[in-house]
């Protein structure tokens, strides 16, 4: 039981997560979605150019 409180107290004393570390994963996911959408759009444009 004492080990649980030691872990809890060390977690509470840890410095808060920086803004960059907190939102880095969200920004990376948005960039991934943007790149995927761009690749799909370019693919449609190429198919449309060859079909027309």
| Alpha helix stretches (DSSP H) within the chain | 2-13, 19-51
State residue 2's pLDDT score. 67
Residue 6 has pLDDT above 80, yes or no: no
DSSP state of 4: H
For the ranges 22-26, 31-35, 36-40, 48-52, the lowest mean pLDDT is seen at 22-26
pTM of the model: 0.55
pLDDT at 25: 84
pLDDT at 5: 67
- The pLDDT of 2-22, averaged and rounded, is 70
């Amino acid at each position: 039981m004492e080990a649980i409180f030691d872990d809890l107290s060390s977690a509470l004393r840890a410095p808060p997560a920086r803004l960059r570390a907190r939102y880095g994963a969200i920004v990376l996911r948005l960039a991934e979605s943007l790149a995927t959408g761009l690749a799909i759009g370019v693919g449609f444009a190429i198919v449309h150019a060859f079909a027309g």
